[in-house]
Amino acid sequence: MISTTILEQLHQVETPLYYYNLPLLRATISTAKKAADQWGYHIHYAVKANNNPRILQEISALGLGADCVSGLEIERAIAQGFQADSIVFAGVGKTEEEIRLALNRGILAFNVESLEELQIINEIAKMMNVQASVALRINPNIDANTHHYITTGLDENKFGIMMHELEDCLALICAGESALILVGLHFHIGSQITDWSVFKRLCLKVNEWNTWFIERGIVVPILNVGGGVGINYQNPDGEPMVNFSDFFALFHRFLEPKREQQVHFELGRSLVANCGSLISRVLYIKKGITKNFAILDAGMTELLRPALYQAYHKIQCIAPAETKGDAKEIYDVVGPICESSDCFGKKVSLPVLVRGDLIAIRSAGAYGEVMSSRYNLRKPLQFYFEE
């Protein structure tokens, strides 16, 4: 995972820190883009997964667009090299300030999630004397078979325009005084999806909705099918990147765009997760009655996913093998935060640990740094970039 030279350097720096493997990031982005290019597909990187400026610079340099969910994400994406006309702006709660910002910047499209949002965008665009390009986000009512906190495509979720609103949305867009241009349909059903049959069902739903619009005389330029493809958290070294060729080939097989329609994706986790690890030191070993605790200097303030989603991350001791031997011990690996939920993993088999050992919590490049906090007045994060 980490070369001996870099491991020696990590022993000299302050922890906790986020370690980013930039060569792996570049290889992953290039592989994904090549696979998408085979079918003429377009990728927007989901900035919410990781908005570290250096990470954004690397991704924008390789020619991807951006998927943003706030005005500040739009600003940062543009500052780090993304072209404004390749940015899509999603989210159920866009403020008036954010809408004005996006219109001033000339983004590709707003992914609109409600009739009232569409009305507000129209009013602001009129006041600014500009046109607003919009994509209607439609909930396909597909269960992504993932954690309920990150499922977004069901009727019961807060995302997407409701079916009973669609006719009113079209009436508003087509009105003579409208400042709206319908450029796309948008779909997104969830995150960390490993059952790819879900994507087949999505394709069939998108085909149905595309036909619904065509029957009303509307052929939208863009079909945006979102993202959500999952990664292998259990074996990040054995499968460091998704099989993007098979992923995009699945959409080519089942999605039926018209000749003039583009297909867009919004990928985040699958592009950046495995390039990042949270590096931490063992502070104390606490031997309990029925279990042992390895207490780290990193906690849920640095990586929230295990506490929030009960998410699994591979945990490794990265001390040189020759200093550890073959003996193993079972630990609950925990942090220093004053919450019992501050736990990275239970019953984790590791080499016998001692104070000062370096621990790597793997696949933390997505929804790690961006979800960190200063709770308990924690120190600001540190970073190490492998070039």
pLDDT digits (tens, 9 = 90+) for 133-150: 999 999 887 754 544 444
* 96-119 burial: b if 16+ Cβ within 10 Å, else e: eebbbbbbebebbbbbbbbbebbe
In terms of pTM, does the model score above 0.85? yes
Determine the Cα angle at 331 with ends 351 and 7, to 5°: 45
pLDDT value of residue 156 = 56
Q: Which DSSP state fits 385?
A: E
pLDDT-derived band at 5 (thresholds 50, 70, 90) equals confident
Q: Could you tell me the domains of the chain?
A: 4-15+274-386 (2.40.37.10), 22-272 (3.20.20.10)
Long-range contacts of 114-121 (CB under 8 A, 24+ apart): 114/161, 114/162, 114/165, 115/161, 115/165, 115/168, 115/169, 115/172, 117/92, 118/169, 118/172, 118/173, 118/180, 119/172, 120/96, 121/94, 121/180
What tens digit of pLDDT does each residue of 55-88 get?
999 999 999 999 999 999 999 999 999 999 999 9
Q: Please give the mean pLDDT across all residues of the chain.
A: 93
What tens digit of pLDDT does each residue of 235-293 get?
999 999 999 999 999 999 999 999 999 999 999 999 999 999 999 999 999 998 889 99
**Residue located via tokens 């790819």:** 196
Which of 359, 377, 371, 274 has the alpha carbon at shortest distance from 51? 371
pLDDT-derived band at 154 (thresholds 50, 70, 90) equals very low
What tens digit of pLDDT does each residue of 26-55 get?
999 999 999 999 999 999 999 999 999 999
